[in-house]
């Protein structure tokens, strides 16, 4: 009985060992088969890295401001007699804009002039009498003082009359007025806005880190969504002498030519400052660069052999790169890529070092230095 039990256990052990060995052999063959099968090549797009002329630019958003701009007001109270301008009109320096009623003031002026003329006559008579020793020096001095007082009153009244004629303080373009003849104006009431807009300023802010790249006289290109595709040119004329303590930015002022007077104060616009001399830099589409926490990388395509029918076998190698400024769809590459390297521009998500690729450039990512919106 014991021998029979032992035989059965031996047979069961042999059977179990055969099954386990077969499973191990099967797993080994599957693993070997999978290892012998290479994954299919990944389809990517690629571009040859080339050096291009590159002008470094600093970009910012700013606001347009008139070279001169005021709200024309009345210095004294009065009734509007005549308006000598139309809304939106260009006026020259000193041009009469508004005449207030000055009849009473002119009458008072004439009265004071008559008193001054009489005082002058009295003074002239006193001088003659003093020369003949008919009056004392004290009388002559009193006559002289009275003449000066009368003339001062005339000058004061003359100034009051002149203030009733409101003139343009400088040349520029008028805004829209709501003042009408017969309306009473108090001192300080706004009559119309006056702006000198050719040339015109743009004010924008730059981080203090960029201060060394800025200088008075650098060219500035300005664009605004009011005129898509239009560029306005000017130059930096001034910097604020202090950095803002809250933002650590510095205010920059540039002067733009505006002969057609299309740019208006208060508009916002983008300013681009050309900084430094043009350089020759390698450029790639921005889609070619993968930005990771450990650094920026690109995949460079290399030929590692040929197939049996003579076709090249292409594989990729991941390289770390140092990027510079961007412009449009392009980014400058400072290191990590050489001129002539073929760089993957799309399809990187499926790649790793040594991946085999096939290049299909029928649809390429945009590589425009100055892209423009396209209405479709």
B/e letters for 149-170, b = 16+ CB within 10 Å, e = fewer, are: ebbebbeebeebeebbebebee
Residue 310: both structure tokens together: 């003579």
Residue 43: both structure tokens together: 């389809």
What confidence score (pLDDT) does residue 40 get?
84
180-211 residue pLDDT tens: 999 999 999 999 999 999 999 999 999 998 88
What confidence score (pLDDT) does residue 22 get?
63
What confidence score (pLDDT) does residue 366 get?
86
Residue 195: both structure tokens together: 């702006």
**Per-residue pLDDT of the chain in tens (376 residues, 90 and over written 9):** 666 666 676 676 666 666 766 666 666 666 655 545 567 888 999 999 988 888 778 889 999 999 999 999 999 999 999 999 999 999 999 999 999 999 999 999 999 999 999 999 998 888 888 888 888 889 888 989 999 999 999 999 999 999 999 999 999 999 999 999 999 999 999 999 999 999 999 999 999 988 888 899 999 999 999 898 889 999 999 999 999 999 999 999 999 999 999 999 999 999 999 887 778 889 999 999 998 888 899 999 998 888 777 788 889 999 999 998 888 888 999 999 999 999 999 988 888 888 899 989 888 888 887 776 555 4
Domains of the chain: 42-54+278-359 (2.40.420.20), 58-66+193-274 (2.40.30.170), 102-163 (1.10.287)
Q: How far apart (Å, rounded) are the C-alpha atoms in residues 124 and 145? A: 13
What confidence score (pLDDT) does residue 306 get?
81
CB 354 within 8 A of CB 314: no
Q: How far apart (Å, rounded) are the C-alpha atoms in residues 176 and 188? A: 17
What confidence score (pLDDT) does residue 114 get?
94
If DSSP codes are grouped into helix, strand and coil, which group holds residue 4? helix
For 272, half-sphere exposure in the C-beta direction (CA atoms, 13 angstrom radius) is: 14
Residue 192: both structure tokens together: 């119309």
Concatenate the DSSP letters of all residues of 54-84 into one string. Answer: E--EEEEEEEEEEEEEEEEE-SS-EEEEEE-
Which of the 8 DSSP states describes residue 48? Answer: E
What confidence score (pLDDT) does residue 38 get?
65
What confidence score (pLDDT) does residue 280 get?
85
Element (H, E) at 181: none
For 329, half-sphere exposure in the C-beta direction (CA atoms, 13 angstrom radius) is: 13
229-240 residue pLDDT tens: 889 999 999 999
CB 88 within 8 A of CB 173: yes
Which of the 8 DSSP states describes residue 24? Answer: H
């Amino acid at each position: 009985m014991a021998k029979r039990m032992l035989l059965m256990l031996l047979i069961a052990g042999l059977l179990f060992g055969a099954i386990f060995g077969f499973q191990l052999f099967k797993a080994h063959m599957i693993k070997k088969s999978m290892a012998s099968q290479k994954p299919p090549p990944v389809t990517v797009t690629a571009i040859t890295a080339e050096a291009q002329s590159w002008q470094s630019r600093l970009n910012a958003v700013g606001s347009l401001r008139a070279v001169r701009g005021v709200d024309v007001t009345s210095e004294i109270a009065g009734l509007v007699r005549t308006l000598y301008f139309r809304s939106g009109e260009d006026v020259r320096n000193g041009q009469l804009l508004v005449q207030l009623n000055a009849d009473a003031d002119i009458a008072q002026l004439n009265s004071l002039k008559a008193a001054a003329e009489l005082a002058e006559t009295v003074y002239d008579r006193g001088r003659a009498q003093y020369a003949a020793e008919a009056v004392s020096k004290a009388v002559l001095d009193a006559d002289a003082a009275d003449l000066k007082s009368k003339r001062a009153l005339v000058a004061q009244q003359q100034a009051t009359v002149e203030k009733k004629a409101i003139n343009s303080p400088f040349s520029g373009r008028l805004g829209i007025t709501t003042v009408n003849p017969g309306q009473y104006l108090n001192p300080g009431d706004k009559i119309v806005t006056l702006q000198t807009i050719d040339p015109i300023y743009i004010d924008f802010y730059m981080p203090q880190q960029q201060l060394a790249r800025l200088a008075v006289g650098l060219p500035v290109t300005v664009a605004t969504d009011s005129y898509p595709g239009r560029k306005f040119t000017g130059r930096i004329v001034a910097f604020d002498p202090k950095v803002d303590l809250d933002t650590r930015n510095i205010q920059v002022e540039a002067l733009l030519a505006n002969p057609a007077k299309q740019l208006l104060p208060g508009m916002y616009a983008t300013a681009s400052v050309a900084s430094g001399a043009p350089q020759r830099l390698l450029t790639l589409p921005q889609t070619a660069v993968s930005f990771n926490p450990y650094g920026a990388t690109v995949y460079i395509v290399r030929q590692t052999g040929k197939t049996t029918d003579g076709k090249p076998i292409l594989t990729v190698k991941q390289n770390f790169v140092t990027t510079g400024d961007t412009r449009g769809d392009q980014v400058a590459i400072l290191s990590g890529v050489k001129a002539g390297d073929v760089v993957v521009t799309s399809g990187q998500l499926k790649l790793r070092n040594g991946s085999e690729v096939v290049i299909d450039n029928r649809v390429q990512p945009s590589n425009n230095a100055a892209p423009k919106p396209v209405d479709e």
